[in-house]
Structure formats: structure tokens, C-alpha cells
Structure 1
């Protein structure tokens, strides 16, 4: 079985390679340090499984998923991340990844369980992911239930403390439209001020995209 690992941290990347070989002795493991090389490696190697870091030096790992699937239609993608906030998990689920492994809360030994699960056609979610998703399901005001995709995108800009004019310039809107979006987002989320909006965006992980 061929595996591709896309992870920018050298030591962790080497540890992941060794862990995969230990877990699956017959595995043919290749690794890349960035999104560009990772996609090229996927096209060349046609792996069964890709272990994909979310934060890469030349791009967002979750935005790479459609390109990986286009290159390798039947590939299983397992996301690796130290971020388990609600928006990162929402984006991972929306991207259609097959598994999510928490870098901070799990050991390398969990890789065999995750790889075995996704190869069996199952979705693998670590315990913290299950906890966050359960909390979201129980929250009628969860952003995924009340905001549109466009509003989620704009929330990431507002969460950085940008003015209406700055958001308008970035998003291709008029300042008035940006202001209206800000107010609509705050109303839908039950937030009463811009500081509350910024704090919400930070806590939920909206400002991580594009870091």
C-alpha cells in the first residue's frame, strides 16, 4: 500500500514515516514538506492514503484536498492538525476528509487505527473531534447552522479586527455592504459588539485560515 505524508516540520515528518512503516510493514511511504511537492508526489505515486497537515508553508492543507482527489480519485485523506477548533473541523468535514488526527492529543501509535479505519471505508475521528462535533450538534446557534459560507468567510476578516473598508477591499464589496454583513453576522450569532465578534472568531478558529 502506498502512503504519502505532507508535513512541513522535518522531525515530525520523519517520525510519521517511521510510524507508518512500523504500523504497516508493507507500506511504501513517501513524504513532502509543502503543498506543491505534496500534490506532485500524489500525482506521481497514486497513493491509497494521504496524511495531510492543515498548516503548510505554501498553502492551506484543506484547500489542497480537491486537487489531491482530482489527481487520485479513490484516495483516502487523513488530516493532521494541532488545531481542533470548530471552524477547522467544519472545514475538514466540508472538504470530505476521511479522518482527523489531533497532533496534540494523540500518539503516533494511533496512525495504524486511523489508516485501518479509512481503508475499510470508515471515517476516523479522534476523541476530541467527537466531543467538539457533539457540542456543535447540541448548539442551535452554532455558526454552521446560522451563517452562510460567504458570512463565514467574512467573519474571518472581521475577526482580525479589520474595518468595514478593509473587509470591503479584500472581499470585493462596497463598505456599506461589508457593514451590513457585519451586522447580520452579529445578529445571527447573538453578539452585541465588535469586540465580542472578534473574540468569537478567534475562539472558533476563523482567523487561522490563511495564516
Structure 2
């Protein structure tokens, strides 16, 4: 299945450069390139994208408000933030608004592809620095533990392996290949992990994995 992407950024030269790179990829197709969030909302009915990749800044339309509107009106569309902005409040606000991932523009094209594929499969994806700031925000507000998670939960060795791969943004198929098991088995492990930890989404799994040193963070 080809993932259909709608891209928005004020820097149109950057969009054109990304579009050229995406033309070399078989499973991802850019349906439309627009300059701001307002144009995104107007183009959705015509383009029917699977994923919207957008920056947060625009002089015309507030990015977080746009994310919230898109998530409300088109809940089936996944939203990936690609931005230079990297602070706790922006990340928290955009995730609460409904974004599925947050990646920084300093990332490699390989990492961007990985993020898009993970999100298209129904997962979330966070740049390591973003994951670090998610944890930083928890610590600053005094919430050292993931809400509802049993920090002494008895995860099996295999569940710990799966948790690490999931927290780092890998898809079920990627994890299955790495661990030489089926994607269905990976999904079962994920379900068991979430039940044991009391986590309801990948954001909380990432928090748990960071807090317990299960995934390493890049500086």
C-alpha cells in the first residue's frame, strides 16, 4: 500500500527538495505541497491524504489549532510534525491536539521515512530529543511516574525487548523481523505490555521506557 502524504511548510524550496527525495521511494507518495496550515484544511477533501506532515509556524494560521481541527474533522488522518521548534509546551500542546508524531528538521531523510512508515501503521514516532523533552516536562511538573503504570510490573524478557523497539518507533513488521517472530505475536506482546503497565497509548510507553532506562536518548 502506498502512503499518501500532504506536506505543508512556508519554505517551499524545502518542500520541493523533500518531494524529489520522496520520488525515489516506492511506498510513499506526495499528493500535494502547500505553504501553510490553512491551505492544508482546504486541500484535504481533494487529496484524501493518509498522513499530513506539517510545521507549526505560520503567520496565517495557528499550527496547534489546525492540528486540533484536522484531528477532530478527519480522525483517520495521521499528523506528523516536522519542525525546528523543540520545547516542552509546544510538544505537549500538539500531542494533546492530536498529532501522532513529532520529528525535528535536523533529522535524516532515513529517519523521516521511518517516522512516516511507523505512523502509517498506526504507531507514534518521536525524535529522541522530543522524547527527552516529554520526560523533562513530566519531571518539571512533579509527575515522575507514568500515570497508571506499575513501575514494578513484571515484564518478561521478550516483553522488555518489544517495549524497547516500540518506544523507539519501530513498526510491528520491523520488530517481527528483528526478533524472528510474527507480527501477530508482536501485537500480542504489545497488548500484554500495555495491560501490565496500565498504558493506553505509545506516548505513555515512551515515558515509561525513558524513565526506566529502557531506551537511550541522544543528546
TM-score by structure 2 length? Answer: 0.59
Residue 83 of structure 1 pairs with residue 57 of structure 2 = no
| CA shift digits 1:45-73 (9 cap, x unpaired) | 11001001100231121210133234433
- Superposed, 1:105-124 pairs within 5 Å as 105-124=106-125
Matches within 5 A, 1:29-44: 29-44=31-46
Could you tell me which residue of structure 2 aligns to residue 125 of structure 1?
A: 126
Counterpart CA distance in 2 for 1:114 and 1:42 is 21
Deviates more, 1:18-27 or 1:87-96: 18-27
- After superposing the two structures, state which structure 1 stretch, 48-57 or 15-24, moved more: 15-24
Kept after mapping to 1: 8 A contact 2:37/2:54:
no
Unaligned runs of 5+ residues in structure 2 are: 144-219
| Secondary structure of 1:27's aligned partner | strand
Judged with a 3 Å threshold, the aligned counterparts in structure 2 of structure 1 residues 63 and 24 are, in CA distance, closer, same or farther, namely farther
Q: If you compute each CA radius of gyration, which structure gives the higher value, 1 or 2?
A: 1
**Deviates most, 2-11 or 57-66:** 57-66
Secondary structure at the residue paired with 1:79?
A: strand
The RMSD of aligned alpha carbons is 1.9
Deviation digits for residues 93-139 of structure 1 (CA, Å, limit 9, x no counterpart): 11120010111x31233221011110111110001011111222233
TM alignment of 1:25-174, pairs within 5 A: 25=27, 27-103=29-105, 105-141=106-142
Aligned to 1:11: 13
Alignment gaps of 5+ in structure 1 = 143-211
Q: Which runs of 4+ in 1 moved over 4 A?
A: none
Deviation at 1:33, TM superposition (A): 0.6
Q: Does structure 1 conserve the Cα–Cα contact (< 8 Å) formed by 2:10 and 2:58?
A: yes
- Kept in 1: contact 2:12–2:35 (CA 8 A): yes
Structure with higher helix content: 1
Larger deviation, residues 116-125 vs 34-43: 34-43
TM-score by length of 1: 0.61
Q: Secondary structure at the match of 1:100?
A: strand
